[in-house]
Structures are given as C-alpha cells and as structure tokens.
Amino acid sequence: MNKTTLQQLIEQASLLDQQKRYAEADAITAKIIRIAEDIQAENSMQQYTPGMQLTPGQQVQLDSGDVNQIEQVINSGQPGQINVGGNNWYVTHGTPDGYYLLDPNMKSKFLNMYPEFPDTKGDESIKARQDEQGNIFVDGNTLSKILGGQAWLACHDTVGGGSGQAARSPNEIEVGIQQQGDKKIPFIQSAQVKKKLIRTSASEFTLPDLPYEENALSPTIDAQTMSIHHGKHHKTYVEKLNEAIGKHKELKGKSIEELLEDISSLPSDVKKAIRNNGGGHYNHSMFWKIMSPDGGGEPKGEIKKVIDEHFGSFEEFKKAFIEEGKKRFGSGWVWLVKTDDGFKIISTPNQDNPIITGAGKPIFGIDLWEHAYYLKYKNNREDYLNAWWKVVNWKQINKNLNS
C-alpha cells in the first residue's frame, strides 16, 4: 500500500470537510476506509517489536504478559510511565474536553519550558489549563512538544469495555485489550486514519441540534449546563457509539433502538460501549425534545388522561416521579414507561433505559446525572427535579405516547 497516497487522501478529505463539502469528503473517506481495512487485514494483529514504525491506523498485538500492566493503567486513571512491548511509554488519560492530565514529571518539564505559565510568552500553539489543585492539562500538540515529538499511549477511559477510545492526535497511540473468547489480547493502535474513520462513521449516528438556543431554558436549566451537556457529553456518546459500531460491519445501518433492544447478543468487545454510549445517545436525543422554552404547565391531551387514570392526578404523578428520581443512587434516569399492563414510573442506572432493560416503551425520562444540574442546583437533585416541570414539553410527550 502506498502510504503517500493514503496521506494525500486524508488531507483531501479533511480539506473538503472544512469546506463543508461533506458529500465529496464522504466519498473520499469511503475510499480511505477501504484502504485502511486492507492495511488492517494485511497487518492483522502483527506482533509489536520495540521501535517498530506503525502505519496510520495500524493495530498490533502486544505480548500477552503486558495485559496486567495495561489493565492497571486503564483502571488507575492516572498518567505515568509504563513499559509495554519492550518500550517505555508515557501513558495518559484523556478528559472529556480532549485534554490530558500531566503527571508530576511531565508537569515539571512543562513548567521548565514555560516558567511563566499561564503566561506562555506569546506561544499561541500552547493550549493548557490549570485547575484549582494545580493539576495541569494540555492538548495533544502541547503534550507532543513536551515529549519531544515522541508518541504516547492514551487510555481515554474504560467505557469501551476496557479498551481505550478514539485516538485523537497524530502522536497518540491507543492502548487496549481485546477479548477473544477466554483470551485477552493486548494491543496498541496508532491514530490518524482512525481519527478519520471516526468522523466518517459519525454519519451513522449524528449529534442532533438542540431544538432551541442554549440559553432558552434559563433560568430552569442554565446555558452553560446546556452547552456542556449537549456539546460535550452527548457529543462524546455519539462519537464513542460510532467508534464501537465501526469495529463491526454487521452492526452498521441498525437503528439505535435495534442495537439497544438486542444488547445481550452484541459482540462482547463492544457490548459495554454500545450500552453506555448508545444508551446515552438515545436518552439525550429524547431529553432535548421533551423540554421547551414554551413548556411547563398542566399536562394536556392524551398524557393527561394517562396520568389521571394511572396516578390519580398530575400532583401525585409528579411527586412519585420525583421520589423515584431521588431514590436512584448515583447516576441514572427516571422514566415513565408503558408496560404490558399499564404505565409505570421506574429508574435505570447509568445510561440504561427501558429499551435496554426490557421494562417497556419509554414515554419520557429525566436525566439524573449531576452533569444535568450541578452548576445551578449543586448536589440538590430534588430542587432540580421540582424545577424541571417548568420546561416540560407535553406536546412532545404526547407524540412519544403515540409513536
């Protein structure tokens, strides 16, 4: 395979993408995918040797003795040094905004380079931030600079069934573990083509636009919460969902409901990623629509009948809903579900929903994750759950009831 051609195609697709010429970009990216698949087939889990040059997107197998080390790194959530595949690597974990936390050693290297930080003496290529505890987070280019252009291993988090997530920077190498039957196969994979593949497969599932401005639900839900919730959290669920789907051709083209209904039969290496991120995508896509700046007030139409018949009155329904939401320990969702014998209020953990758990047809649900309310309501979930009804969109809920 001609690497130059591949690189040229990637650049071409990227340029078209920037110019918003998506159809042309997608056509070229389809070509890139075919080439990348060929490369992967050619290099199918070749054994890694120290110093080996990886082609973009190449995945290579590490020695099985590395499994424990990699698992420790993935689970620790901490940056540091490890020796994997006979090489010493700097290993780091991504944050939701695409930055990397520096370990004390890298932090002092960084501060040697920029002693005046946060003043970087006009070097605009440096993207870094410091939190209140003095931790420093940097973007991929800056990390690459600190490491003198060397690649690093990245574990974005453990959501993807123990493997790392999307490699985002050219010098970033994903480290992960693939389960094949009873065997755990440690691997590393280089970025670039992979990054492109993720963008393309985003055409499978896309982040829906908010049906209103970010500040439209204020003061009930503030603009900053909406911006982070939609633009960071939901966006990440979509990206990770597409990445998981991209690993299995047979899953492409399935609807989100089809994937979630059949969660137990999904391939084991992506099951957890699809459960968490597919659930996240489904739940949030529903959530944006059932809120509206023109919302609130008493239930209308068919949902009013359902509420009165099954829960007595709106006041009683609301009370039961809030109670159920308060009871859920940790993150999750509280739902109105249509079951075989009527309607029920239930809650689910994490990004699970009634489709995944088989509890029935979800009519609507409220997000109980702290990211949905913490900025305004702090740890007071009950206040958030009480206030939420000021933006409830009964019109949409009636649509959900009849869909």
Binding site for Fe ion (CB under 5 A): 367, 369, 372
Question: Using H for helix, E for strand and C for coil, what is the string for 117-142?
Answer: CCCCCCCCCCCEEECCCCCEEECHHH
Which of 187, 288 has the CB closer to Fe ion?
Answer: 288
* Minimal distance, residue 107 CB to Fe ion, in Å: 31
Which of 336, 372 has the CB closer to Fe ion?
Answer: 372
Residues β-bridged to residue 128: 138
* Minimal distance, residue 291 CB to Fe ion, in Å: 12
Which of 48, 237 has the CB closer to Fe ion?
Answer: 237
* Beta-carbon contacts of residue 44 (< 8 Å; ≥ 6 apart): none
Q: Where are the strands (E) in 243-307, listed by range?
A: none
How far apart, in whole angstroms, are the C-alpha atoms of residue 400 and residue 393? 11
Residues β-bridged to residue 189: 59, 174
User: Pick from 100, 109, 142, 107: which is nearest to 125 by CA?
Assistant: 142
Q: For 377-381, which contacts have Cβ atoms below 8 Å and span 24 or more sequence positions?
A: 381/325, 381/326
User: Pick from 91, 103, 232: which is nearest to 164 by CA?
Assistant: 91
Which of 174, 367 has the CB closer to Fe ion?
Answer: 367
Give residue number: closest CB to Fe ion: 367
* Minimal distance, residue 32 CB to Fe ion, in Å: 32
* Minimal distance, residue 348 CB to Fe ion, in Å: 13
How far apart, in whole angstroms, are the C-alpha atoms of residue 242 and residue 199? 9
* Minimal distance, residue 400 CB to Fe ion, in Å: 18
Which of 79, 325 has the CB closer to Fe ion?
Answer: 325
The one-letter code for the residue type at 81 is Q
Tell me which residue has tokens 């990054």. 195
Checking DSSP bridges between strand 342-349 and strand 59-61, what pairing results, if any?
A: unpaired
Which of 187, 369 has the CB closer to Fe ion?
Answer: 369
Which of 9, 356 has the CB closer to Fe ion?
Answer: 356
CB 56 within 8 A of CB 6: yes
Helices (H) and strands (E) in the chain, counts: 17, 13
How far apart, in whole angstroms, are the C-alpha atoms of residue 51 and residue 116? 35
Which of 92, 225 has the CB closer to Fe ion?
Answer: 225
How far apart, in whole angstroms, are the C-alpha atoms of residue 83 and residue 262? 39
* Minimal distance, residue 62 CB to Fe ion, in Å: 35
How far apart, in whole angstroms, are the C-alpha atoms of residue 343 and residue 149? 58
Which of 28, 368 has the CB closer to Fe ion?
Answer: 368
Joined together, the tokens standing for residue 283 give: 């739940």
* Minimal distance, residue 237 CB to Fe ion, in Å: 9
Which of 100, 369 has the CB closer to Fe ion?
Answer: 369
Which of 80, 231 has the CB closer to Fe ion?
Answer: 231
Q: For 292-299, which contacts have Cβ atoms below 8 Å and span 24 or more sequence positions?
A: 292/211, 292/212, 292/391, 292/392, 292/393, 292/395, 292/396, 293/212, 293/216, 293/217, 293/391, 294/393, 295/390, 295/391, 295/392, 295/393, 295/394, 296/389, 296/390, 296/391, 296/392, 297/394, 299/394, 299/397
